[in-house]
Structures are given as C-alpha cells and as structure tokens.
C-alpha cells in the first residue's frame, strides 16, 4: 500500500533552492557541456527536455503534483508520469523522502541504465535522454563550466576518468565499449534482483498470475530457474509463500550482484607490459583479465568470475543472462538495441609498443588527475556552510593513497621530460594533492572523524614525497 504525503516545509524549501540554482545553470551555462555525455543524434531531444525541467519543477511545486511516497523501493526511489514527445513535460512525480535530504551522501534516482560514476554513462547513445543520472551529470558539468558557479560536490570516479581516455582513442575503442557493456549489464541485473527479492518476500498465487501481467510473469520465470538451480525452494501449496530460507537466499542474491556492482564502480584498469591488461580494485590485487584482445565477451567473462561469492562463481554469465532476459519490458526493449551496438565494436589486434605506451601514460595521468580533483573539491565543499563533513568525507578514500603510489611509480618509470604535457599534468596533480591533504585535517578538527582524516592526510603526504 502506497504511503503518499505532501512535502514538508523543509523539503519544499530544499526543492525551491534547487529550482533557483537549476534555472541559472540550465539557461545561462554553455550547452557544449553535453558533448561528453549525450549522443549527437539525441542533442535536440535532450536539450529540449533539460531546458523545460526548471519550469516543470516550479509547476509541480505550485500545483501539489510532487509528493512523497516512502513505499517506493529504494532501488526505484522515484516514479514520474511524463510526456515523451514535444512539448516535453513532467506531469506528476512521487519521491522517497531520502531524495530530498541535502545531507544524503549519495543517492541513485530513478531506474537508471548507467550511473554518473560508472563506465557506461558516456556510452548510452539513444538511451541518454531517458537516463536520470545523465541529466544530473550534465547540470553538474554546466555548473563547473559556469558562469554562474554552483557547488554540486561532484565526485569524479576513476572509471569516468579512464573511460574518457579509452573512448577517445581508436586503439582502445573496443575496451571502452566492453567496459560500458559490462556496466550496463550489471546495473540492470542488480535492479532486477531488487525486484525479485521483493517479489520473493510476498505471497504469490502463481497459478493466478495473468499472462498480461508481464512483469510478474518474468519474475516468476526468474524464480522457476532459481528453483531449478536449487538456490531457492518452492512455494508452499497451502500458503503460496516461500520459506524464510528461500527469502533470505533471494536477498543474498541481490547483495551478491550489488557487491559486483560496487566492485565495478571502483575498478581501475592498469595497462602494463603489452599486451597485458590488469584490473585492480579495493581489497584485491591485480588480476590478468585478457591478453592481446579487448573483446567485450572476454572482459565480461573475466569480470563475472573475479567475484568471491560462491553463488556468482557457480552461475557466472548464466545468472546475468537470466536476470536480463526477464527484465522489465521497458528496459529490455531499450537495451535490445544498445547492447548489440557495444558488443559489435571491432576488437583490436595487438597494439604496437608506442601506441600502448601512449595509452598507458594518458590513462594513468587522467586517473591521478581525477583523484587530485576529488581531494581539492572536498576541501572546497567544506568551506560551504550548507554542507556537513560526514557526506563529503566519502569524496576522499583510504584506497586513494595506494592508488596514488602506484600511479606515481608508473608515471615516474616512463621517464618523461619535464616539458612533456603528461609530466606537467602529473606534477600539477601532485601539487594539488599536497595542498588538499595539508588542508583537510583542520577542516575536520573537533569532529568524530578528526583522527581518521588526520591519519589519511598524513599517509597521502607520505605517498607524495
């Protein structure tokens, strides 16, 4: 049962502030900020939708068509009724209350195909006008491009920094497409496990599910296959319920895919001696992923089997394929066009040493620069009175120290001349990190995180010597 309620005064004020900021950004900032994120064929559609959003938000606020519904699942977060043809409009919106909390560290809004910090956000093609995080990221980029300035506290991820390099370099186009393909598949599989976990915990008269109810039919198909794999049991004939162990297994399945999704978010591709490719992520060492070919299927298979969960190791691609083949109809139809395009990107032959070296240096420099900018932004955001320290702390991470050590070692090993642009970018990033690490402890003085931040800053300064 839905629990719909009007906005509180605090929530309304938060949205009104957001409205005022978004009006300034959308109507005054340069539109070229869209180019890294929106396919050229979708610019007219995307900009039309984007520019009507501030006025639509104002209309929703003044007509009480924007309401709170905390019965929405956390995976969905929001539900909207929209007109998808000109004139574009948002006719009603329901939001979880957590989405209107200015102190929430990170929030995923809507049924996104890709998230702002992931590998696929720049590879959505015709899906970009239908991806909520694309709009949020475009507004943040516009704010950065200014004037006027607005502090959106964007966190630059290593995947985004590296993907920009791989996508713009013809020799690594298939690597870029492969990583985007994996990202899209994992995101959709994760959201579908959330759907199924909720489905598993409810009473279902399976024989009474109508063939017209395609979503429930698909969820039942997922359940039937999981029963064949002996992951869950059958529903009791006298109650149409799963037992508690099966419900817990469904939740464990959701948590497993979510763990892989998190692993992919923090993935760093390290290019080493040609033609070897390594994946590194928090809490794990380097793992050879594939050899001379960057094929989407090879990388997808590698990513699926690197997780430590026995369940995912057992099922691998079969599990992901099951969840995607029985996804919601809207997502399944949309991805039916996009995924084959990414999978069909031409796989490169072995790269020559000079080309490989150029990609290595560019990718490592971009990664170091992203980390440095995140630390710099963390310090800048803490100077803004409306931000609290705890959410902002998520922008600087203990793993950054080890990553920076490895990046500096790699870039030093290239023996770049002082006037080389990459050497200059490396030196600028190091200087930025030193300044930020030196300033952070004072920002967190007399807070519960004071000791944590002081130790982290000291470790970073030691790594930069």
pTM, two decimal places: 0.75
What pLDDT is attached to residue 78? 64
For 1-13, give the secondary structure using H, E and C: CCCEECCCHHHHH
Residue 419's contacts (CB-CB under 8 Å, 6 or more residues apart) are none
Q: In this structure, what DSSP letter does residue 70 have?
A: T
- Report the relative pairing of strands 89-95 and 78-83 from DSSP bridges: antiparallel
What pLDDT is attached to residue 457? 92
CA distances from 235 to 207, 222, 232, 243, 253 (A): 11, 14, 9, 7, 18
Written as six digits, the tokens of 391 are: 């959410």
What pLDDT is attached to residue 139? 67
What pLDDT is attached to residue 462? 94
What pLDDT is attached to residue 430? 95
Distance CA 265, CA 269 (A): 12
What pLDDT is attached to residue 379? 80
What pLDDT is attached to residue 464? 92
Instruction: Print pLDDT tens along the chain (465 aa).
Output: 457 888 888 777 777 766 666 666 555 555 555 666 777 777 777 777 777 777 777 777 777 777 888 776 555 556 666 666 666 666 777 777 766 665 544 443 446 788 878 889 888 888 887 787 777 777 666 666 554 444 445 567 788 888 888 887 777 777 788 888 888 988 899 889 989 998 998 877 766 676 677 888 999 999 999 999 888 888 887 778 898 988 988 888 888 788 778 777 777 777 665 445 555 544 333 333 332 223 333 333 333 334 333 444 445 678 888 999 999 888 888 888 888 888 887 766 556 777 778 888 898 899 999 899 888 878 876 666 555 544 556 667 788 898 899 889 888 888 899 999 999 999 999 999 999 999 989 888 887 888 888 999 999 999 998
Q: In this structure, what DSSP letter does residue 202 have?
A: S
- Report the relative pairing of strands 66-69 and 4-5 from DSSP bridges: antiparallel
CA distances from 12 to 49, 64, 196, 436 (A): 23, 10, 33, 35
Distance CA 15, CA 450 (A): 32
- Report the relative pairing of strands 287-290 and 4-5 from DSSP bridges: unpaired
pLDDT tens, position by position, 246-287: 898 888 888 878 877 877 777 777 766 544 555 554 433 333
What pLDDT is attached to residue 111? 64
What pLDDT is attached to residue 314? 46
CA distances from 321 to 57, 301, 304 (A): 38, 12, 11
What pLDDT is attached to residue 402? 87
Return contacts of 349-353, CB within 8 angstroms, 24+ apart.
349/292, 349/293, 350/274, 350/275, 350/292, 351/171, 351/274, 351/275, 353/274
Distance CA 450, CA 436 (A): 15
Query: What are the phi and psi torsion angles at 66 (to 5°)?
Result: -110, 115
pLDDT tens, position by position, 406-430: 889 888 888 899 999 999 999 999 9
CA distances from 406 to 115, 264, 436, 437, 461 (A): 27, 19, 19, 18, 14
Q: Which of 307, 206, 196 is nearest to 250 (CA)?
A: 196
Contact at 8 Å (CB) between 287 and 274? no
What pLDDT is attached to residue 431? 96
pLDDT tens, position by position, 280-330: 544 333 333 332 223 333 333 333 334 333 444 445 678 888 999 999 888
3-state SS class at 76: coil
Residue 23's contacts (CB-CB under 8 Å, 6 or more residues apart) are 54
- Sheet with strand 89-95: strands edge to edge: 4-5, 66-69, 89-95, 78-83
N-term to C-term CA, the chain? 59
Burial label, 360 (beta-carbon count in 10 A; 0-12, 13-18, 19+)? buried
Domain chopping of the chain, boundaries: 4-155, 170-269+282-343, 353-463
Buried b (16+ CB within 10 A) or exposed e, 184-194: bbbbbbbbbbb
Query: What are the phi and psi torsion angles at 197 (to 5°)?
Result: -60, -40
What pLDDT is attached to residue 438? 94
What pLDDT is attached to residue 393? 61
Query: How many residues does the structure list for the chain?
Result: 465
């Amino acid at each position: 049962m839905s629990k719909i309620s009007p906005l509180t005064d605090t929530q309304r004020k938060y949205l009104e502030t957001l409205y005022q900021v978004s009006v300034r950004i959308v109507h005054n900032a340069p539109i070229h900020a869209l180019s890294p994120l929106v396919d050229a064929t979708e610019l007219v559609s995307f900009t039309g939708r984007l520019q009507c959003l501030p006025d639509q938000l104002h209309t929703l606020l003044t007509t009480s068509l924007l309401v709170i519904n905390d019965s929405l699942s956390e995976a969905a977060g929001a539900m909207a009724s929209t007109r998808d043809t000109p004139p574009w409009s948002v006719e009603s919106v329901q939001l979880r209350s957590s989405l209107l909390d200015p102190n929430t560290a990170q929030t995923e809004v809507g049924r996104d195909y890709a998230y702002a910090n992931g590998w696929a956000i720049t590879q959505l093609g015709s899906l970009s006008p239908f991806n909520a995080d694309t709009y949020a990221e475009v507004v943040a980029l516009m704010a950065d491009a200014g004037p006027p300035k607005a502090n959106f506290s964007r966190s630059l991820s290593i995947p985004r920094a590296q993907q920009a390099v791989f996508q713009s370099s013809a020799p690594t186009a298939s690597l870029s497409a492969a990583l985007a393909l994996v990202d899209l598949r994992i995101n959709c599989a994760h959201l579908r496990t959330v759907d199924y976990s909720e489905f598993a915990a409810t009473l279902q008269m399976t024989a009474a599910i109508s063939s017209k109810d395609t979503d429930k039919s698909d969820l039942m198909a997922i359940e039937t296959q999981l029963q064949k794999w002996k992951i869950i049991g059958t529903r009791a004939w006298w109650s149409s319920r799963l037992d508690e162990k099966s419900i817990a297994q469904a939740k464990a399945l959701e948590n497993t895919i979510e763990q892989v999704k998190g692993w992919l978010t923090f993935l760093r591709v390290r290019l080493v001696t040609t033609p070897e490719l390594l994946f590194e992520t928090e809490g794990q060492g380097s793992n050879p992923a594939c050899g001379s070919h960057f094929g989407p299927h090879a990388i997808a298979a590698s990513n699926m089997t690197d997780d430590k969960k026995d369940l995912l190791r057992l099922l691998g691609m079969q599990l992901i394929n099951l969840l995607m083949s029985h996804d919601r109809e809207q997502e399944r139809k949309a991805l039916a066009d996009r995924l084959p395009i990414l999978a069909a990107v031409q796989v490169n032959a072995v790269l020559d040493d000079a080309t490989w070296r150029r990609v290595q240096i560019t990718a490592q420099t971009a990664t170091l620069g992203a980390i440095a900018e995140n630390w710099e932004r963390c310090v800048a955001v803490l100077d803004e009175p409306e931000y609290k320290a705890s959410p902002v702390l998520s922008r600087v991470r203990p793993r950054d120290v080890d990553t920076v050590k490895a990046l500096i070692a790699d870039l030093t090993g290239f023996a770049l001349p002082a006037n080389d642009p990459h050497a200059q970018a490396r030196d600028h990033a190091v200087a930025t990190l030193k300044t930020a690490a030196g300033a952070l402890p004072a920002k967190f003085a007399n807070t519960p995180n004071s000791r944590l931040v002081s130790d982290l800053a000291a470790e970073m300064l030691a790594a930069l010597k």
